[in-house]
Structure 1
Amino acid sequence: MGGSMTEPMALPWRWLAAALMVFVALALLHPIDHDESQYVAAAMLSAHGDLPYRDYPYLQTPLQPLLFAPIAWAAGWHAWLALRLTNALLGVCILGCVWRAAREAGVGAGAALAAAALLGACDILLFSISTARNDALPAALLAAALIPIVRAQRGGATRAAAVLVGVLLAAAAAAKLSYAFPAAAYGGYALFDRRHQPLSVVLGAVPVVGLVAWSWALAPDAFVFGTITFPAVAPAEFYADRPWKLSLLGKAVDTLKFLALGPALLALVVIRRRLWRPGVLELVLVAGLVAALLPLPTWRQYLLPALPPLFVLLALEWQRARPARWMRALVAVTLGAGLAPTLITAIQSRGATSLPAALSEARAIGAALDRAGVRDGVATLSPQFLGATHALPDRRFATGPFYFRSHALLPADREAAMHLVSADRLAAVDRSPPATVLVGGEGGWSSGDVALDARLEEWARTRQYRAVPLDSARFRLYIR
């Protein structure tokens, strides 16, 4: 697995093309997840000129819907498919950047390729790049930043490279707040190691910080609630009946489980000694782990910020000492553990909950909406399905089930001011009722809660909304 830096630095295009084919297949086969709802809705609404926080609620930092809006606009009623495929492509970018960062660090081509391939077999990554969530974009930005970071560590950064690092790390945090931890860790390190040109790094971050500040200035209360308050307080409310999920023991079990579904836990064991004499990559890794462990509970995608630096460090360790035969056997076991969850879910769904099946449902929804002449204002907890129609969601339901299922997180007046609606205050919608109500996408088959859809459906029925024919066994459509 060794090699020298005299080997060609060209990317392993054949391997990356193979990874892209696999990731695209996973994007098509992965079961529908209600987590996708707000991300598809946000991209669609921004594609039509709306801005997060000001015009519709968004429960993350603002970069992704703004950056993905052109994709959703160009894709039209293929928006949901396009966003999933975009994340699959970003997954390949993550692997390519980890490979290149390892090569820049002095790792031979074989060890670099092995480390990237092992990263590609982690269930954490496979889940994150198979759905239309906001995990792949910040991870790709972080992985890309590792290339000039490693280059600076070995020979000093050019000013342009340092500016690029600032742009990439700030953009990662602007796409998902947890990536602010690796960004801050690198910024602190750069202050003490002037090879990294900290002033140029700050200069690169300024435009992205300006974008985030502008988003805040448009709607300060909605911005703070969506990016900080809701992620901090909503989990405790949602898991109140399952307190073990919020316990330290539950966090430890979940973290070890997710790391063990693939080679990530083994990689941590292999590089553990490096953490006692941390360099820049080690600090970015630790910051990624801290970002993953702070929220309650811990979910697999939270660990993604730690993976790019982790597997570059694994490549460096294997460049220093070739893994023993028993280690290679253990690697094979972890590969199976990483791939198993994805394969099992794909087999169990038998295509019934895959993206092609969902798009078939969405075409039926779109046909019914077209017959009713509806183009806007669809109240639904599953707005991702509108990403394959010609209709837009009602802005108050743009977060899907996530704010709707909460209880009194905001006073009624602030809730209305932020374009939010909860199930407990659904009657507030009476003042400006939606044109259409779509239910059926929130259920066990989409990792959701059917009781939430039942409350929305009951509201529509008691307001004399008229049921219209819909060629779907899952969905029901009501017109005002």
Structure 2
Amino acid sequence: MRLPRPPVALALLIVILVALAWLRGLDHDESQYVAAARLTAGGLLPYRDYAYLQTPLQPLAFAPLAWVSGDWAWPALRVANALLAALAVAATWRAIRVAGVEARTATLCAALFATCDILLFSGGTARNDALPAALLACAMVPMLRADRGAGSRGQAMLAGLLLAAAAAAKISYALPAAAYGIYALTAPRHRPAWVLVGALPPIALVAWLAALSPAGFVFGTLAFPAQAPAEFYAATGRAWKLSLAAKAVDVAKFLALGPALLALAMVALRRQRRPTLLGWLAMAGLISALLPAPTWRQYLLPALPPLFVLLALRWQALAPGRAWQAALAGFAAIGLIPSIVAAASGSGMARAHEETARLAGSGRSGVVATLSPQFLPAAMTPDARFATGPFYFRSTGLVTDEAPLHLVSRPRLAEAFAAQPPAAILVGGEGRWTSGDGALDAALEEWAVSRGWRRIGDGRFRLYAPPQATAATPALPSISPR
């Protein structure tokens, strides 16, 4: 079979990934990332001015895009992630070539990577998965050059910069970065001192933001991920989700949605006399995915770029037979199914922007308290206390003193609003249609109704304005549930 030339294949991949990002259904997981980018675009900083439940690079990197995009911020961030997912595949292809694999095999293995549901989901939402994956994939190129004895000081610095930046965008990438640091210390040709020099700017950025709010940084990057899942799943009667058995099933399922599980088996069958650089990276990526409970598909993404380079090397050394090739093709087809199903409605971002445009048509502006900040138009600023969307709000006892961390939980809503009421309250975006919990929005709505706030709009979204503002409040265009 004749394969398209790499530039043509990349262009086709970009078109497909952008289309999937545009069509994919709405998910409340994206709320905190859109809110963080918008708040940073407005001059606020993570941890110091609003809570952020990840390491801080993504909102800083995406803030200019959110500012330029205005009402289109959410779609723009999705498209950016689609492009970053394409970059991750392209950089993996380049890393395969640097590793010494011929072009056809490199294209086949990069294409198999592109069919993994893990990657397609990460590139189709406005989460923080595609950016660090692209950075890691790009870092493999100078790392592999150094491993083959063709590195330089500049490339060592570039590898350190990219790996540290990946960890600064998502903390789970710190383990692959550390694995490379340890490996580099055992192999002087990697110039570990220069790798460290390159890593210093992202490290300094994270350290600076952590110093501005040590408590906020520790809570967002360490305490919340460690404590919140146990509280949430216990409260919802699904503590079994945190068991090792559930984790094993989830990991196998997510890897099997695409050829990653089969690639892992093929690579494992090719025994190495000693661990290789790529082996270290893939193993670190898998461990980083297994540490949180539960394990979700996007957590496995750090392992995939090095895994598919290893697959290409194995393919070149011992080409798989027809049965293996047929199995890879079959798993690749399976990996596409979730994205096809998710995009089947064909109205993901079109629907989201329609809702945003209707809110913009209300003529209101100012700070809005909402669990769905991703829907807000440019004139409405997310209340920084709800920057985490529903994910902290649904907790009950993680933080004793919430105000210094810019947080509000459902049990302390009345107390927080008594101290500082918002200009408006928006409900309607947290529900089954966004994979959320409508009871959380109901708590905000109940507070507004009980205090005589005026309801504006009768459809899916309801905007509430304080009583003193009712006289001059324009009507919200009707938004009908769908």
- TM-score norm. by structure 2 comes to 0.94
Whether 1:398 aligns to 2:387 is yes
Measure how far apart 1:406 and its partner are: 0.4
Runs of 4+ in 1 over 2 A off after TM superposition: 273-277
- Size of the aligned set, in residue pairs, is 462
Structure-2 separation of matches of 1:85 and 1:234: 30
What residue in structure 1 maps to residue 280 of structure 2? Answer: 283
RMSD: 1.6
Residues 361-407 of structure 1, C-alpha deviation per residue, up to 9 Å, x if partnerless?
Answer: 11111111x2x3x2x21000000111x44211011011100000001
Alignment check: 8 A CA contact 2:71 2:356 kept = no
What residue in structure 2 maps to residue 474 of structure 1? Answer: 460
Which 10-residue stretch deviates more, 36-45 or 390-399?
Answer: 390-399
From 143, 148, 151, give the equivalent of 1:154. 148
Alignment check: 8 A CA contact 2:175 2:284 kept = yes
Q: Cα 1:127–1:69, aligned 2, differ >3 Å: closer, same or farther?
A: same
Describe the SS at the equivalent of 2:375.
helix
Structure-1 separation of matches of 2:451 and 2:295: 40
Whether 1:300 aligns to 2:297 is yes
Whether 1:382 aligns to 2:372 is yes
Residues 222-246 of structure 1, C-alpha deviation per residue, up to 9 Å, x if partnerless?
Answer: 1110010000100000111211100
What residue in structure 2 maps to residue 6 of structure 1? Answer: none
What residue in structure 2 maps to residue 264 of structure 1? Answer: 260
What residue in structure 1 maps to residue 308 of structure 2? Answer: 311
Describe the SS at the equivalent of 1:32.
coil
* Identical pairs, percent: 59
Residues 248-290 of structure 1, C-alpha deviation per residue, up to 9 Å, x if partnerless?
Answer: 0000000000000000001001100456531001000000000
Alignment check: 8 A CA contact 2:173 2:302 kept = yes
Residues 38-93 of structure 1, C-alpha deviation per residue, up to 9 Å, x if partnerless?
Answer: 00000001011110011111110010001111111121221111100000000110
What residue in structure 2 maps to residue 351 of structure 1? Answer: 346
Describe the SS at the equivalent of 1:271.
helix
From 32, 41, 60, give the equivalent of 1:38. 32
Whether 1:48 aligns to 2:36 is no
Describe the SS at the equivalent of 1:392.
strand
Measure how far apart 1:346 and its partner are: 2.1
Whether 1:221 aligns to 2:218 is no
Alignment check: 8 A CA contact 1:118 1:263 kept = yes
Alignment check: 8 A CA contact 2:34 2:374 kept = yes
What residue in structure 2 maps to residue 252 of structure 1? Answer: 248
Residues 317-346 of structure 1, C-alpha deviation per residue, up to 9 Å, x if partnerless?
Answer: 111111211111111210111001111222
What residue in structure 2 maps to residue 361 of structure 1? Answer: 355
Structure-2 separation of matches of 1:274 and 1:39: 40
Describe the SS at the equivalent of 2:382.
coil
Q: Cα 1:452–1:144, aligned 2, differ >3 Å: closer, same or farther?
A: same
From 410, 424, 433, give the equivalent of 1:423. 410
Measure how far apart 1:464 and its partner are: 1.4
Residues 123-145 of structure 1, C-alpha deviation per residue, up to 9 Å, x if partnerless?
Answer: 00000010000000000000000
Measure how far apart 1:156 and its partner are: 4.0
Q: Cα 1:274–1:197, aligned 2, differ >3 Å: closer, same or farther?
A: farther
Whether 1:132 aligns to 2:126 is yes
Task: Report 1:457-468 matches (<5 A).
Answer: 457-468=445-456
Alignment check: 8 A CA contact 1:20 1:89 kept = yes
Measure how far apart 1:202 and its partner are: 0.4
Structure-1 separation of matches of 2:112 and 2:379: 40
Structure-2 separation of matches of 1:468 and 1:274: 64
Structure-1 separation of matches of 2:372 and 2:271: 43
- TM-score norm. by structure 1 comes to 0.94
Q: Which runs of 5+ in 2 are unaligned?
A: 467-482
Structure-1 separation of matches of 2:7 and 2:119: 20
Alignment check: 8 A CA contact 1:275 1:282 kept = no
What residue in structure 2 maps to residue 169 of structure 1? Answer: 163
Alignment check: 8 A CA contact 1:362 1:389 kept = no
Structure-2 separation of matches of 1:11 and 1:377: 50
Measure how far apart 1:221 and its partner are: 0.5
Alignment check: 8 A CA contact 1:124 1:304 kept = yes
